[in-house]
Amino acid sequence: MPVTAKQKNSHIRVKQFVTDTAGHKMSVVIDMEEFSRLESILNLIPDSEAWLYKNKKALESVERGLNQAAQGKIKKLALSEL
């Protein structure tokens, strides 16, 4: 069962963004206190879902599929043909 943690002012406060030469955000600088908060939030993600974020190739595939679905580039799968 998915878990949602919501608190007032639950956003992680970022001190500074690190960007590449094109201006894309690559990483952030945060206080240790914020890191502890972030770590506790990440611990709420169940292992059955966390693996996806650790597997870059699988995550990119899911994101690609979601983008295709949003653009209507999907078709019905006939399970009998598998």
37 in the same domain as 56:
no
Question: Considering its fold, how many domains does the chain have in total?
Answer: 2
- Which structural domain, as residue segments, surrounds residue 56? 46-73
Q: Is residue 69 part of a domain?
A: yes
pLDDT at 53 exceeding the cut of 90: no
First to last CA, the chain: 29
Kind and range of the H or E run holding 70? helix 56-70
The predicted pLDDT at position 57 comes to 95
Could you tell me if 54 and 42 are in contact, meaning their C-beta atoms sit under 8 angstroms apart?
no
Q: Is residue 35 part of a domain?
A: yes
Q: Is residue 37 part of a domain?
A: yes
35 in the same domain as 56:
no
pLDDT at 61 exceeding the cut of 90: yes
50 in the same domain as 37:
no
Q: For residue 28, which phi and psi values (nearest 5 degrees)?
A: -135, 160
Q: Is residue 38 part of a domain?
A: yes
Q: Is residue 64 part of a domain?
A: yes
14, two tokens:
């970022």
Helices 47-54, 56-70: axis angle to 10 degrees equals 90
